[in-house]
Structure 1
Amino acid sequence: SAVEAIELLSQIRLGISLGLINNLGIEKLTALLYLCQSAHIKKILDTMDDGADNNLVDYSRAEIIRDALEDKQCLKG
């Protein structure tokens, strides 16, 4: 869910801010925090329909986050 994703990404962001995580860029992670919100996912999917399948939105969110975190080079700031 969006709440869970934002919560977990916020914890990673805190780890970066505290210097506990060094291989991720804070700017890109912050952008990922905004990108994983439901409205942004629906925009990417090109459907602003409120009745859009929540499972599709959640699946797409997970894919975006997974892809971004697997490719740490794109997150270096």
Structure 2
Amino acid sequence: MPMKEIAKRVHRIYCLLKLNIRRKGKQRLPACNPSPLAVPERLNLSGSVDFMHNAQCTERWVSFQYVIMSWMITIVKHWRL
């Protein structure tokens, strides 16, 4: 017998006997304790990364930009996909 039919029979018998149907609760994930973020040694020592995609041209180009905040220099590299 398929599981669906067995579950229906069990449900019907439990209802006739007026028993509580055991419901399985969702298992919770363990609490996440993230590690502290790294603190830069000096001010403005961190950088940011940005990905862009140009969908208007026929060939797909992706540009990768890495901005170094301490010197305000932008390095742009292009490559084809």
Query: TM-score scaled by structure 2?
Result: 0.25
Q: Which has the higher contact order (CA 8 A, sep 6+)?
A: 1
TM-score by length of 1: 0.26
**Whose helix fraction is larger, Structure 1's or Structure 2's?**
1
- The answer to which structure has the higher strand fraction is 2
Higher radius of gyration, 1 or 2: 2
